[in-house]
């Protein structure tokens, strides 16, 4: 029985390190999932927070990952101004009572103009199993630039520097994301993503807003192959979002979230 538990958790840690590390940027806020996982441009984005805006908000997200009924993922994020800088804090919980990954992310826009925002950040990671607990940390750097009024680009490096130990190996991840507003009701997204373990991923997305209170989105990821869709409903200062993602190997994942603008 003990040997079976050991083998189970060894397999789980290998799975988490190799599958969920590559899917880390798919398991994000539902409004971003729906539009192809291209993060950094929408209020409530979590993988790359939209620190180029002065909006203050609180977001709550819940995700049921691809066909794994034993686990869930929750995150809470808060963005506000600290010492005049747009600042962001996010807490993530993934797992169950016997296997759990927790992350604390902090970021702030140290330089901000109408066209350019530079935001360093730090992430603290905690891994808990029945057999051991492990800690590590990484440093991030993100730059937002408005090329023209309707075209924006984000360049972000996650874990530019990371403290690694024998239990947790954090990959460096690089993002180059574009957002083009072709019409007042239509937004187009393109993302390029690469880490030091996996193949480069191309992400595409589109969102259509027929009225201010409703957004319909869809997207596609090339590596790993995922089809995404979803919608968002806005009422007063609240926005409710739902997204579904179909992974060609791991099947369906569902995400719901709410954003409250303060």
Per-residue pLDDT tens digits for 75-86: 899 999 999 999
pLDDT at 173 exceeding the cut of 50? yes
pLDDT at 213 exceeding the cut of 90? yes
Residue 35: CB partners within 8 Å, gap ≥ 6?
42, 187, 189, 205, 206, 207, 217, 218, 219, 228, 230
Q: Of 58, 52, 43, 48, whose CA–CA distance to 24 is shortest?
A: 48
Residue 195 phi/psi, 5-degree rounding, is -120, 180
Q: What is the CATH number of domain 2-261?
A: 2.40.160.40
pLDDT given for residue 156 in this prediction: 93
Please report, for residues 76, 85, 110, 231, the alpha-carbon distance to residue 82 in angstroms, rounded to integers and kept in the order given. 18, 5, 11, 32
Residue 54: CB partners within 8 Å, gap ≥ 6?
81, 86
Q: Which residue's structure tokens are 């929408």?
A: 42
Considering only residues 143 and 72, tell me which one the structure prediction assigns the higher pLDDT.
143
Q: Where are the beta strands (DSSP E) in the chain?
A: 57-64, 72-82, 85-95, 100-108, 111-112, 116-128, 133-148, 151-163, 173-183, 186-195, 201-211, 214-222, 225-235, 238-247, 251-261
Exposure of 23 by Cβ count < 10 A (0-12 exposed, 13-18 middle, 19+ buried)? buried
Q: Which residue's structure tokens are 């009024």?
A: 149
pLDDT given for residue 66 in this prediction: 66
* Over residues 207-216, mean pLDDT: 93
pLDDT given for residue 67 in this prediction: 62
pLDDT at 180 exceeding the cut of 70? yes
How far the first Cα of the chain sits from its last, in Å, is: 51
Residue 12: CB partners within 8 Å, gap ≥ 6?
99, 129
Considering only residues 32 and 28, tell me which one the structure prediction assigns the higher pLDDT.
32
Mean pLDDT across the chain: 83
Q: Of 158, 127, 157, whose CA–CA distance to 17 is shortest?
A: 127
Considering only residues 20 and 31, tell me which one the structure prediction assigns the higher pLDDT.
31
Q: What percent of the chain has pLDDT over 70?
A: 86
Its pTM surpasses 0.85: no
pLDDT given for residue 182 in this prediction: 82
Token couple for 235: 């009422």
Residue 24 DSSP label: T
pLDDT at 126 exceeding the cut of 60? yes
* Over residues 178-196, mean pLDDT: 90
Which range has the worst mean pLDDT, 2-6, 120-124, 187-191, 256-260?
2-6
Which range has the worst mean pLDDT, 78-82, 126-130, 147-151, 166-170?
166-170
Q: Which residue's structure tokens are 């604390």?
A: 104
Strand partners, 128: 100, 133
Domain boundaries, the chain: 2-261
pLDDT given for residue 23 in this prediction: 42
Q: How confident is the model at residue 64 (pLDDT cuts 50, 70, 90)?
A: confident
The CA angle 233-245-40, to the nearest 5 degrees, is: 65
pLDDT given for residue 171 in this prediction: 80
Helix (H, G, I), strand (E, B) or coil at 202: strand
């Amino acid at each position: 029985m003990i040997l079976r538990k050991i083998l189970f958790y060894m397999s789980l840690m290998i799975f988490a390190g190799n599958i969920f590390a590559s899917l880390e940027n798919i398991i994000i806020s539902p409004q971003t999932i729906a539009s192809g996982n291209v993060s950094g441009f929408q209020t409530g984005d979590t993988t790359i927070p939209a620190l180029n805006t002065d909006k203050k908000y609180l977001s709550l997200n819940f995700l049921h990952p691809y066909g794994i009924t034993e686990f869930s993922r929750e995150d809470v994020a808060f963005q506000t101004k600290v010492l005049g800088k747009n600042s962001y804090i996010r807490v993530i919980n993934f797992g169950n009572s016997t296997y759990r990954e927790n992350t604390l992310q902090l970021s702030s826009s140290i330089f901000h103009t109408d066209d350019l925002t530079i935001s360093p950040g730090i992430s603290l990671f905690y891994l808990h199993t029945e057999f051991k607990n492990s800690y590590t940390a990484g440093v991030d750097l993100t730059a937002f630039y408005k090329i023209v009024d309707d075209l924006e680009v984000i360049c972000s490096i996650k874990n530019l520097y990371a403290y690694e130990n024998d239990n947790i190996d954090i990959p460096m991840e690089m993002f180059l994301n574009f957002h083009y507003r072709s019409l007042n009701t239509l937004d187009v997204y393109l993302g390029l993503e690469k880490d030091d373990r996996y193949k480069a991923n191309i992400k595409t997305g589109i969102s259509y807003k027929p009225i201010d209170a409703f957004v319909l989105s869809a997207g596609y990821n090339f590596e790993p192959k995922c089809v995404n869709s979803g919608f968002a409903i806005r009422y007063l200062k609240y926005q409710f979002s739902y997204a579904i993602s179909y992974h060609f190997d791991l099947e369906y994942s569902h995400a719901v979230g709410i954003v409250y603008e303060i």
